[in-house]
Structure 1
Amino acid sequence: MRNELTNSDARRLFLFLHGLSGSLNDNHNKEALPEIIKRIGFVQIDSIKTAERAHHHILFSRCNSYDHTWLDYHLEEKRSLFENWTHDASIIPMEFFPYWGHRFLRTRDKLVGSRWWKNRMGDDPDEICRRVLHHIEQNGAAKSRDLRWNRGDEFPDKSKKSSSWWGWNPSKAALVFLWRTGKLAVAKREGFQKVYDLTERVIPDVYRKLKYSEQEYIDWNCTTAIENIGFGSHTEIAKYWEGVTPQEAKTWCEKSQHNYIMEIQVEA
């Protein structure tokens, strides 16, 4: 017989785990911000702004004393947070970065086979990626508008117009590809535009050099997912970070049942 979780208890648990039950809504200073984000897993970045950008709303709702400058401090100065991809662009505790090593490899395999990416990077994606990396290595951090060239150009031309949907010229596509696959990192933002630099110039060595096995990567994805959502199907566990497949999450659930997790029925 399955254990049952009532609807009201499920709601209270969900709010507690997401820092919305008052447990995080104390007065903190800026040094506490990484722990607040770690508690809720990550914070999704949103470019849409009406009253305020969504990621600032998320943090203020969990910390009354939150100030915008805290985020820049931890992302750009202290390097205790970094930007990369979960199910979308997100702010993530730096201590989680070592687990992104396997994610970068998986993302590369996925994007290389994607027609969408091929259409935006052009006929010679390796060459455009090489040029972008070389330019940043020699000239320092760059924004997408600093790198506008197509195949055959000797140097980037800032006057060149974007040649595809939503500004996705080949050099911008290469920047995002290199970021999503770990060769570049977001060093800072100017306005809301990403400024990219070589990963080794942004991510502290202690995190960049730490490696985990693929099984440790899968275990971490699933364990932290269920800790942060409290309950869910194997598909929902996989979707939390979007770092493992539903089948990998299902295998983890079967292995972990009666040891770390239990099967329950949530009241409708």
Structure 2
Amino acid sequence: MTQRRYSLTREQARRFLFDYHGLSHEFDSSGKAGILAYIRKVGCIQFDPLNVVGTNPELVLQSRIADFDRRMLWEMLYEERSLVDYWDKNMAIFPMEDWPNFERHRQKHQAWFNKNPAAATAVLEEIAERGPLCSADLEYDEKIDWAWGPTRLARAALEGSYFAGRLALHRKASGRKYYDLAERIVPEKLYGLPDPFVGDAAYNEWVLLRRIGSVGLLWNRPSDALLMTGMKAAQRTAAFGALLSRGEILIADVEGLGHPLYLRAADAALLEASLAAGPLAAEGEKRAAARPMRACVLAPLDNLLWDRRLILELYGFDYRWEVYKPASERKYGYYVLPVAADGRFVARFEPEKQRGSEPLVLKHWWWEDGEGADPAVRGSVERALRRFAASLGTTFEGELPG
């Protein structure tokens, strides 16, 4: 069977990715239904505990969900349980229905649990009797080696049991994680189901298809988008080949890129709709008659940015999250967020730490080369900053630099 192979201009590829992630037009998603639909589409959104102006998943969702409120995410995670915190692409949030697909990941993390059965069992028994607990609730104060350095046995026992799937996150409060027995958190119809994948090849194909969907377009190259998949180059190439042979992915050749990109066949209709809609505004065309422009503030670990080398080659936008770099080695700042508008990256900024209802303050602002002069872009960015501030429960009262 001959499959369609797309030939895209760079502008078409850039536009599709913005369309795919719901960033290039008026908001088309709202409420919890919109949150769940987006996360199902991309598989997962990455979690990071740093909170300067909201956590990473909150920043991902505020840029895509028209009426996003942080309470929505909390309720979906810790009350309704339609979403779950676990490991996917690093720490992540994904639909609870995907829990069985990570059984092999949980099996790979049984080592600590198996080497420390007394402590692990004691912690499980305490939680079974007392209910959800955090490390401060447990009196296991012995210091032991742990992945991030020496830590209390209580923390290691909780996290080791969590990695192994014996515990799940009940809630988070003031930076503390409260754990409960996974069988109390994961629905009975999902808990304890066997690994659905027969062999590594089947799992590799599933997770590769998932990560292509996480970004929208991906190439067969080493990529941060494939973190924690465990695939070596040969396994990755085999998985691409198997998905192509079954017609589950399609090839998109993009002008000027030395490697083809791949999209899920299920997303072909969206690509064709994006191609048919054309650019936001052709040269000389009145913007009011073209596709609407919407600027947005993106998360530092936004799905669109998972493969930063691809973003650099496709958009010419060189972005690195510098929070873990020494101050002397940073090019921009500690916590810098990208700003997108009109299907491209137009700026980046470092916000001040958000405290309560204090207005959002821009500590530093950098326009990308050639940006900042177009009144339409500036107006759209100003509206985006006001929306962003509102999602934090505050306001933006400043002015954009020239």
TM normalised by structure 1 equals: 0.78
Partners of 2:29 and 2:94 in 1: CA distance: 22
Partners of 2:237 and 2:138 in 1: CA distance: 43
Segments of structure 1 that go 5 or more residues without pairing to the other structure are: 152-160
Q: Secondary structure at the match of 1:82?
A: strand
Are the counterparts in 2 of residues 148 and 169 from structure 1 also a CA contact under 8 Å? no
Q: Which moved more, 1:187-196 or 1:33-42?
A: 33-42
Are the counterparts in 2 of residues 162 and 168 from structure 1 also a CA contact under 8 Å? yes
Q: Secondary structure at the match of 2:53?
A: coil
Are the counterparts in 1 of residues 46 and 91 from structure 2 also a CA contact under 8 Å? yes
Are the counterparts in 2 of residues 148 and 162 from structure 1 also a CA contact under 8 Å? no
Are the counterparts in 1 of residues 144 and 152 from structure 2 also a CA contact under 8 Å? yes
Is the alpha carbon distance of 1:144 and 1:214 closer, same or farther for their aligned partners in structure 2, counting shifts above 3 Å? farther
Is the alpha carbon distance of 1:228 and 1:13 closer, same or farther for their aligned partners in structure 2, counting shifts above 3 Å? farther
Q: Where do 1:95-106 residues align within 5 Å? A: 95-106=97-108
- Please list the CA deviations of residues 54-81 of structure 1 after superposition, one character each: whole Å capped at 9, or x if unmatched: 2211111001201111112111121100
Instruction: Return the offset for 1:150.
Output: 4.8
Are the counterparts in 1 of residues 205 and 239 from structure 2 also a CA contact under 8 Å? yes
Match of 2:203 among 217, 221, 245: 217
Matched, 1:133 2:124: yes
Is the alpha carbon distance of 1:14 and 1:27 closer, same or farther for their aligned partners in structure 2, counting shifts above 3 Å? closer
- Please list the CA deviations of residues 125-145 of structure 1 after superposition, one character each: whole Å capped at 9, or x if unmatched: 232212211211222111121
Q: Which amino acid aligns with 1:136?
A: I
Query: What is the root-mean-square deviation of aligned Cα atoms in Å?
Result: 3.0
Partners of 1:150 and 1:125 in 2: CA distance: 15
Residue matched to 1:9:
12
Task: Name whichever structure is richer in strand by fraction.
Answer: 2
Instruction: Work out which of the two has the higher radius of gyration on C-alpha atoms and give 1 or 2.
Output: 2
Runs of 4+ deviating beyond 4 Å:
161-167, 235-239, 262-265
- Please list the CA deviations of residues 133-165 of structure 1 after superposition, one character each: whole Å capped at 9, or x if unmatched: 1211222111121124156xxxxxxxxx89986
Are the counterparts in 2 of residues 225 and 237 from structure 1 also a CA contact under 8 Å? no
Match of 2:151 among 159, 168, 175: 168
Partners of 1:163 and 1:249 in 2: CA distance: 33
Instruction: Return the offset for 1:265.
Output: 4.2
Residue matched to 1:52:
54
The share of aligned pairs that are identical, in percent, is 25
Matched, 1:256 2:240: no
Q: Which one has more relative contact order, counting CA pairs under 8 Å at least 6 apart?
A: 1
Residue matched to 2:31:
29
Aligned length: 246
- Please list the CA deviations of residues 166-219 of structure 1 after superposition, one character each: whole Å capped at 9, or x if unmatched: 772122112111111211100111223211011000011122244412355333
TM normalised by structure 2 equals: 0.54
Residue matched to 2:384:
none
Residue matched to 1:243:
229
